[in-house]
Amino acid sequence: MCCKGDFLRITAVLGSIKVAYLLLIMLAAYTFPEYNTDSAMRAMMRWPQNGEPVFASHFATWDSAHYLYLSEVGYKHGEPSCAFYPLWPIAIRNFSMVTGGNDVLSAMILANLFSCIAWAIFYFLVRDRFGTKTAQWALILLILFPGSLFFQFAYTESLFFLLLMILWWGLEKDRPMLIGVSSFLLPMTRAIGIFCILPIFWHLFGEVITTSFKMRTANKIPWNELKTALFERVQKSWLLLIPFLGWGVYFLFMWSETGNVFEGFDSQHFWGAHSVMNIVDIPKFLIKFCQITDFHSYSGSFLDRCVFLLFFCSLFKIYKLGKDMAVWALILGVLPATSGDLMSFTRFCSLAFPLFIALASYFTTKQKPWLKFACLEIFFILHILLVWRFVNFEWAG
């Protein structure tokens, strides 16, 4: 994919950007504190749980507080926090031994380290497949995207995106070890992780199926070649079992911690947002799409709907990039949008990496520089706005 020196250089550049980013946020939060204490007090979880907010509370708002609670206290039957998957809080708890038991610092370090490495892997994978210019612009668009603010804070985005990039790396370079490790850990990080089985299936059998269909259409069936290719894929089909193994470990973990295998699923009633049944309820999705209540809020967000329209309009370009890109777009964009009626879609879309490749590919082939820079400017302004909202316990996603 790249030499070690190139990887270290781009990681160092990205790390420097992150340090400057966080220092500016800390300076702004310290100089102009506008922390919404009322919102924090009404929230299901805040950090610290008791007492008045402290300066570090700026970096532990919304879901961050749940992950910090789980890292400190663990899972308990009947708690709303059980809806969150365990790999991220476990990572925070274990790394806090390095930070002297400071879970907030531990989470911030890990989130920025994981996302920095993931961004570097993303850049080199896009460069190898789509070219340097596309890779450069895809990385810039990804970093500036409004929902990408969560790569800097104690959310699962950084860990999940790193595992996604390792899986994509394994699929692109046909490395079973990378595929196996990442697909085992993804279902323990987020609910959508179990669907990593789809790009693995496409990697194993997609090319064989499409080739067979084309040959049948042209009445040219090289059966011997197809049988050989299919046999080679079948030998690797054990990879399809790995995500289910990781999912099984998740259920065993919840059972050992709470006494209920399905505690995570049962806890979803506290939130009333995501449901598998929503995926097939298209009329409900269309009705929800039209119910705009605010510029950006828990539900009815105008911004979330604008981001979905951008994603939707990019689907044809994503498909042209490759059918595997369309599979990734399905699980990282379509499923989160429909299952949660667009709730937090701006955040979820930051993981839909084919979108940024498609936008970069479009901008590098079309002679419309004004459109490219207009997109970057909009992304940048919205990113700053959402960061300011997030650190002050206003809804950001």
Domains of the chain by residue range:
19-141+148-266+274-391
Q: What is the mean pLDDT of each run of 10 residues along the chain (397 residues)?
A: 81 93 92 88 86 91 96 94 97 96 96 98 97 96 98 98 98 96 98 96 83 57 64 85 98 97 89 69 86 92 97 97 96 93 95 98 85 94 96 94
Task: Specify the amino acid at residue 365.
Answer: T
- Give the relative orientation of helices 87-95 and 103-130 as an angle to the nearest 10 degrees: 120
* Contact between residue 37 and residue 53 where contact means Cβ atoms under 8 Å apart: yes
Q: What pLDDT does residue 274 have?
A: 64
Question: By C-alpha distance, which of 155, 125, 157, 150 is closest to 138?
Answer: 125
Phi, psi of 298 (to 5 degrees): -55, -40
Phi, psi of 261 (to 5 degrees): -55, -40
Q: What pLDDT does residue 284 have?
A: 84
pTM, full prediction: 0.94
Q: What pLDDT does residue 66 have?
A: 96
Q: What pLDDT does residue 226 have?
A: 65
Q: What pLDDT does residue 389 have?
A: 96
| Helix then strand then coil, % of the chain, to nearest 5 | 75, 0, 25
Peptide bond into 48 cis (omega under 30): yes
Question: By C-alpha distance, which of 13, 32, 10 is closest to 21?
Answer: 13
Q: What pLDDT does residue 365 have?
A: 85
Q: What is the DSSP string of 273-289?
A: ---GGGGG-HHHHHHHH
* Contact between residue 71 and residue 116 where contact means Cβ atoms under 8 Å apart: no
Phi, psi of 182 (to 5 degrees): -65, -40
Q: What pLDDT does residue 212 have?
A: 62
CB atoms within 10 A of CB 345: 25
Q: What pLDDT does residue 217 have?
A: 54
Q: What is the DSSP string of 163-174?
A: HHHHHHHHHHHT
